[in-house]
Structure formats: C-alpha cells, structure tokens
Chain A
Amino acid sequence: MRTGVKYIGVFMAESDVPSIMNQNTALSEVCLEVKNLKVLFHTPRGILRAVDDVSFTLSRGEILGLVGESGCGKTMTALSIMNLIPFPGKISGGKVLFMDKNLLDLTQDEMRLIRGQRISMVLQDPLGSFNPVYSIGNQLSEVVRKEKARKERYGKVVHALKQVRISNAEDRFHSYSFELSGGMNQRCAIAMALLPAPEIIIADEPTTALDVTIQLQVLALLKELNKSGRTAMIIITHDFGVVAVICTKVVVMYSGRIMESASTFTILKSPAHPYTKSLLASIPRIGGSKELHAIPGQPGASLDSVQGCLFASRCESVSPICREQTPPMKEVEKNHWVSCWKIESD
C-alpha cells in the first residue's frame, strides 16, 4: 500500500520526495544560503518591510517553492539574490551566500558575472520578457556572449531551444517574440535561463500567465531540466498546485516574513501554520465542501512599525500574544519550521 497525500488528484508518495531532503548527507551540496535577509522600502507613507528576516537554503538539484499571495515579498527576495532591488528599496541586512560568497558584498561588475550566467531568472510575462525589435535568437545569444564565435553562439542557442522542445529551432532563432505563443515564449525564456548552465534558476510565477494546459507542459519541462542537469531551482508562486507538481521543499511567506518551511510532502500532509492551512483550504476541490473558503482581508507588505505576528489581523486562531510579539521559528518536526504562537501552546 502506498502511503501518501492525495492533492488535487496529484498523488504524491513519500517515496517521491528526493532523498536530497536529508540535509546531513554529504551528497547534498548547499549552493545558496539566504540568511536574515531584510529589504526596506522608503516611501512617503513610511518605511515598508518588503522582506523581513528571511532565511532559507537551497541545495544542488533541489526545487524550492516560494509561496505566498501578491505583495508578500517573494519577488523582492529573488531580486535581492540578484542584488537588483529597485529604488526606493534597499537591502538593509542579511547575507546571500552563493558558493560561500556573500553576493551582497560584490560590486555591480562582479555581480554581472553571476547574473544570467550562474544564477538566471525566468519572469512571469512571457511576451514581455523579450524585446520586440530584436529576434529571439539575438536575445538568447546575449546570454552566451562570452562565446566569441558567432557560429558557436548560434549552435548553442539552437541546442538550448531544442532542449526546451521548440520545433524548427533553426528557424525560430530568427523569430520575434510577438510571432510566438505565450507558451513558446516562456519556453524560450527558460532556454535563455538554462543556456549558460547556471547553478540556480529562479522562476517568478512562470506559469501564471499561461493557459492551464500549457502550464503543466512548462512545469514538466522544468522538472525534467532539473533532473538532468541537477540545476537547483526556486519557483515563486502563489499556487500550491504548482508546488505540488514540482517543488521538493516549500517556504511559505506572508508580508515579507517566513511563516512556515518544510518539504512539500510534509506541508501538504500536515501544514502547521494557520496561514498555510488557509491557503491550502482556499483551493476549490472537486468533491470537497460546497462553500469556498477565503481568507478575509488583504495581503501585502507592512509598515516597519507594525508589531507582533503579521498575520494576526487575518488569522482564525489569533490570540492576544500574537498581536504583541513576533513568534520565533520553531522546528516542530525534522526540517519542518513554523513561526506561530499556536504551535507553542499545542
């Protein structure tokens, strides 16, 4: 008998979870470690905490899911890794260790060697990812600009396009983004991200702008690329369905802070934080209850001055202490961390 979790029809057995989850084995090589990252935005209305004391690790071959509603800081976290926080934001604390080097200490010139080469990114809007006046091939070639010979570059780009299952790759090289569908554009964007054989690919809502049928194709592609190249990935999404399909571990964020982090299997099986539980319950299920469960209130970054647990105002199981003090991160089971006062009292 298979033990496991049934989740929107995707049956995930415990054995499906890669053994890389065991942090103590020598096989797992931590390539990215984010420690106590803090990003503040200085706006006329006050100082907003976009990212507040966020920490997580990413090992080779892992696919990390960064989950949360809009405005919770997931994109800002990704941009912090690349050190491209736009004005008026500023990284005000923490470290981003990539291969044991703090990326935040690097100069812009040094950082440019990493961006797009060793850590690359895929964005949400496939059509918007490409400059409409240049061909796809032209823009993919930019990523392999180190290769001086034009023919070699062309060859590499075409090979990458083939890897992402673009038919007629030789012709597609000369196509423009507006000539291709959303799904094809996104696959080209993925090709662009994987072309230089990076250690990490960060995908920010890669399937949100695509048709449902295409979404699964793209996710399957990402999973395959991860398996074959041992490329670590960070998938930013608000959709637990995406998480269930490809992520090996999950970090749930709210208002800039991490609420819960665990392996995908664990989180789907036994979510601990009320927010995580609400997110999972909000997804309509065939055969589930008739009423749609919604989380009252609005998500978003909070002002620097706000005290206590940031989810308190929308939490079902809120208690007085939640509004006064921020709950610490506690390990409730192996590699399952939660920041919630309710866990303390349980």
Chain B
Amino acid sequence: MDITRFHATFFEESRENLAAMEAGLLDMESGGGGGDTIHVVFRAAHSIKGGSATFGFTAIADLTHLLETLLDEARSGKRTLDGVAISALLGSVDALRMLLAAAEHGDAIDQAMLARARAELERLLSGASDEAATQAAPAAAKPAASAEPQGWSISFEPERSLFLSGNDPLRMLRELGQLGELKVACRDDALPPFNELDPFEAWLAWDLQLIGNVKRSAIEDTFAWVEDQCTLSIEPLADGAPAAAPAASAVAAALPVPEAPVAAATPAAAAPAAATGAGRHDAGETTIRVAVDKVDALINLVGELVITQAMLAQRSAELDPGLHEQLLAGLGQLDRNTRDLQEAVMSVRMLPVDFAFSRFPRMVRDIASRLGKKVNLKTSGEGTELDKGVIEKIVDPLVHLVRNAIDHGLETTEQRIAAGKPEAGTVTLSAAHQGGHIIIEVGDDGRGLDRERILAKAAERGIAVPENPTDAQVWDLVFAPGFSTAEALTDLSGRGVGMDVVRKNINALGGQVEIRSRQGEGTTVSIRLPLTMAILDGMTVAVGGEVFILPLNVVVESLQPAADHIKTVAGDSRLLRVREDYVPLLDLADQYGLPATRTDAQPIAVVVESQGQRLALEVDELLGQQQVVVKNLERNYRRIAGVAGATILGDGRVALIVDVGSLSTKTQAAPATITEEYLQGEMAKVIELSKRVRKVA
C-alpha cells in the first residue's frame, strides 16, 4: 500500500485543524468561547501531532508536541493563557503552517521562524512559576500516554449451535486480527467432560482485546452474521490502559495472521483515521472526502446528460402525442429527474462561505494591531453556500477589501473619538442570497469616501470622468486602473494593485462590484456573484443562421422596434429609443462577422444590461429559454473577445454564449471599431468548428 496517498488527506486535515486552533485561540483571547474552546484547540494540536508522527514529519511533530504540552497544562487548569501566551501559540500555528507547506510542496523551511516559535513556547514552558515548572515534566509525559491507540474489549460467547450455520469463530478472530492488534484469551470453563462433548457444538468463549483506532461498526460488522447466535459485548478499553492480556488460558495466544502483507498494511491504513478521529467528533461518519476532480467529472457527466435529455426532448417534440403518450410521459419524467439530479450534483460543489470568512478574524487582528487601530469584525451569513471554485477565487479580493476597510476606511482612534464615534471601528463581512445571486459585502463604519478627493485624484491621474457625475459614478472611479487615494502608502494596501484588480477578478467570476458610501458614516463594497459558473439560464436567439445564448440575468426586455425608433448617429453608430431612453443598438450578426440573412422580417432587439450599461442587441429571432452547460472556450480552443463560452444544444450544435460585458465596454470605448475588433477570421473558425461538431452529432 502506498502511504503517500494518505499524505494529501493529512495535509488537508492539518490545515483545517490549524484553522480551528487559530479560531479557538482568537476566541480565547477575546474572552469568548467558553471552557470547551481549549479542548477544541488541544484536540486539533493533538491530531496534527499524531498524523505528523505517523508520516514521519518530525519537525511538525516536535513543534506540536511543545504546543500540545502547553495546551495540556492550560486544559487541566495548571496554567492560564494570557495575551503573551496566545501570541506565542498563534506564532507557532504560523510556523506549523509553514512546515506543512514545506512538507507538502517541498518548500524550504524557514528555520528562523521555526526557531522563534520554538523558543517562545519553550520560554513559556520553562519560565512558568515553580509550581507549573514542576508539573511540566509529568504533563509532557502525559500526552504521549494519551496518544496510545485506544481499543476495545470484546467478549464473545457463541451459542452451542454456531457451527450449524456454517460459521466458524476462527474466521471472526482472524478478521478482527486484521483490524488491529488482537489479544485473545479463550474461556473453556463451559467445556463438558470429554465423554459428554459433542464436537459439533460450540463450547468455547473468548475475551478479546483489540488495540488500535478501530470503529465500533467495523467490529459489529465482523459479528453481524452471528449476532443472533451469540452473546456479544463490545466495550471501549478504559483510558488506553496497557493491554495486558487477561488471565490467559493455555489456548491464549496472539493470533497468527497468515496474510502478512495485509496485516502490515493495516496500521498505515488505520493511521489517517487516527489523525482524523480526535478532531472531528461531530462529523463522524456522516461525511466523506472526495477529490475535487471526481466531483468535477461527475458534474461534467451530468452536464452531458442534460444535453442528451435536451436532445431527446427536442426530437420527441415532433412525435404525435396521441400515438406516443407513454413515451412522452416517460420523457417528461426524465426531464424532471435530470433537473433534480443536476441540482443535487451541483450542490455537492457548494461550500459555506465561512470557508472564505474564517481566515479574517486572525487577519483583522494582525492588521489592526499593526496599525494601532481598534477593530471589531462582525460576520454574518457564514452558512450561505457558494460554488467551491468561486469561494477560492473570492478570497483574494475580499482580503484586499478588508485591508482597505481597516487601513483607509476606518479613522484613527483619535479621529474617531473626536468625531464622537465608538473608539473601536467595526468591519462587517456578510453574505446573503438574493435571487439567483449571492451578495457578499464588506462594510466599515469609518469616514466614508471623499467625493472631492476622488474627483481631484481622477483628474490628476487623467482618468475620464462623466459629466455631472452621480455619487455612484464617482465611487466607480475607484475601480479605474492606477487609482489610489491613500495619502501615505502603508505596507498593507495602496500599492497600486488595487481596486481595479478586485473588479477584474470579480468580473472574471461573472460577478459585479459596487460601492455605497456616506461621508462620515462608512463605506460598503457589495459583490454580486452568480450561484454557480457551470450552468447558466440562457435565452437562445438566432443570428445569421447561427444560435447564440444570451445569459438570462443580463436580459432586461426584448422588443420589436419601429423603424422611426432607430436613429443613426455619427456614421455607423445607431441608437434605439426605448421609451424615454436611447441605448446603443448593435447588430449581433455584424458583431460576429456573420452574413446578414435578415431580409424583410422586422428585426428584434433584446435590451441587455451589464455593469450599469444598457445595450440593445439586434437579433433575427428569439428561440426560447433553456439552461445551458457552460463549456470553457479558452480551455478547449482559445479566448475570443465577445464570447463568454460555448455550449452544446439539444440537437448537437455548438452555440456561443455572448459576453455582454465586453460588448458594452467596446461600445463605450470606440463604437466604430467593433467590427474589426471581432475579427471575422476567428469567428469563422469557431463556426466552422461548430458545423463539424454538428455533422458528427
């Protein structure tokens, strides 16, 4: 058995355990988190120690041992953890994280950091009062004892008739021997005199001790076939006591296990379970760990199924409902099942947003103490679920926004007192569902954005400003590349890679950012994200003989414009009058370099909105609405401006998904150059590709 395949599990769990320790320590520092917290922190440290020792990561095991010793003293009330001690513990959490990364990726070990963490812990351990010092030695020895594997004491007393069901006690003993170290004592006191002995009856009973981290259910499984034919008791061994075999009779012996390789592998297999066991009491056996690519493969397969189902639905639409009633009913059922399946599978990828939020308490504490500000972090909606991929990518933008909020948003303590505000500033992190979106907000109760300063800065940097800008338009300037309002650059934020990167990252996730701010009251940055990136509700439209998908969340309305509602301005640019407003009108066929197939028919305009920009798109026909599975064009072909992705339609055709955001930015920048921009050659290739796929299908 290859032990390295357990490494990934160990690393992942250790990271979780470190996060739990950190959260617990912070709780303890702020006086919250009751008496249980220290136990949680201790268990997490203990798990890491056990796992690292098993896998031979001695540096990690050594450091956790010190950590655990200190925590054990605190746990048993021999030591109280003051701010200094907590800082030292947090420092060693960082060191452990570094060591884990080193072990996982082969990075160099930061010896200075490690030495510092060790020194601080050792100083705490030795510099304690005499009383604590004398107790340190036994305390240090104790974790080693409790690290002994626990085990089970099993009494197995078969009924006489056991053999008559073809069951053999030896089989069960052999199986138990494979679960862990088995000590066997046989009870033969029920054995009758030899002349009365019926060899077909079971007279012997066994007292067994199974040492190792074995699940009770595994033992019960072993005896499942005979549970109605025996008296069985399974009790945990008291306190991992050294398992001296009970008064052993002559028959007693450690059972020889014939399958030596299996037996040798068993401790390795049991070890990660040991590492898991302590830390995750609640999760128990109700969760399993699955590699993300397996889940993605599953999602992909369901995506294919959705396409197949759509194909069947399309083909069956031509059938006579009278003749094929049952088939059509079945297909309807298939439709519902597919949808349910899809939803269920998508939910597997969903994680609570807490996975992103949980790192912030520590970060806020560090930043605040470095800046000498007092900051309370409030989080809400941590349970809101979001696609794992989105959560991973949202962390960096959030980190940036939270840093900004503390660094730029919140005033200094003196300024706050002068303004009559509470001394400690508040930073809020919240997540909530809203329609098909998740809204994540980072807010502060600081000074708010300064309209005049932003406008001055924009002028200084040569950033284009709309005439008579509204507040929202002014706040939007903050996202322009190269914008930074910090008067003094700190090492935390304001280094140029700023809000423009935040917006870019969030746009890449299909999300949008906006700022709300009131002078003197604070600033809130609101991020709107789609629930998932893999499936999209789309409006299918026909353009130039091709089918395109418009994401339904950007579609505002569709209308058939009267000829006199279309105005041509400045050469080619056209505007469409939608009630009181004029919006730029683009012919999608033009955009994608398709032949104009429309002759007499009235064009249809679909009004879309993205990033606050409205745009009317001229299409030949509205075909319908459907959920489409987004296939990444970049991964399969290359990035093409104006195209967000592709999907496969029910009839096997490839349809491109229109990237409305990039269409609208193009109109803004240089309306006349769009057609060149959407290089006909590229588009022709994709369309050629789609035709080939269609032939194959």
| A, B co-complexed | no
Q: Which B residues contact A (CB, under 8 angstroms)?
A: none
